[in-house]
Amino acid sequence: MERKHYKQEINMTEALMNRINELISHYPEGKQKSALLPVLHEVQDAHNNWLSIELQDKVAEILQIKPIEVYEVVTFYTMFNQKPIGKYMFEFCQTSCCCLNGAENLMDYTSEKLGIKMGETTPDGMFTIAGVECLGACGYAPMMQLGDFYKEKLTEDKIDQLIADCKEDKIILHDK
């Protein structure tokens, strides 16, 4: 399978660099790699919620580590996006408890409703659907994460309402 290379403008603003340097300062001299996860979050947030290879290379340069050390982390965690995503990313928990309670059917339903497959983004850039590992809310299965928030005890009706609310810009994605 051919891997598509996505281009991204790198914009390391003064404010972003100040935040990165503050995060690095929390760790002992020579241990700046320890700041990798929080730095990746900050950089991703500042770059439309995704990290191109070039941007990952920039993080490696800033932290004075090898690019592969950044790639290993970005490819391991589902919270880091390696390609552009939609404004609204439906991240369905796809582990045992959620699947036993219908998550897979809801993922299929959402894909059909939006006309895209898992991992794809709608042509208008509005929605992306992804399956992720356990989100730690088994008592509320099936569930998904939308931005910083959990959407729990999902049903087809709740999915329909979430899609409608997103289209009407009624969904708050972040608590910052």
Tokens coding 2: 């051919």
Residue indicated by tokens 């582990």: 95
Tell me: is residue 138 an annotated ligand-binding position. yes
Is 97 labelled as part of a ligand binding site? no
Q: Where are the beta strands (DSSP E) in 16-98?
A: 88-93
99 annotated as belonging to a binding site for a ligand: no
Question: What is d(CA 74, CA 47) in angstroms, rounded to the nearest whole number?
Answer: 15
Q: Which two tokens stand for residue 68?
A: 């592969």
Q: Kindly state the DSSP code that residue 106 receives in the 8-state scheme.
A: H
Helix (H, G, I), strand (E, B) or coil at 162: helix
Please report, in range form, the residues annotated as the binding site for [2Fe-2S] cluster. Answer: 93, 98, 134, 138
Where is the binding site, in residues?
93, 98, 134, 138
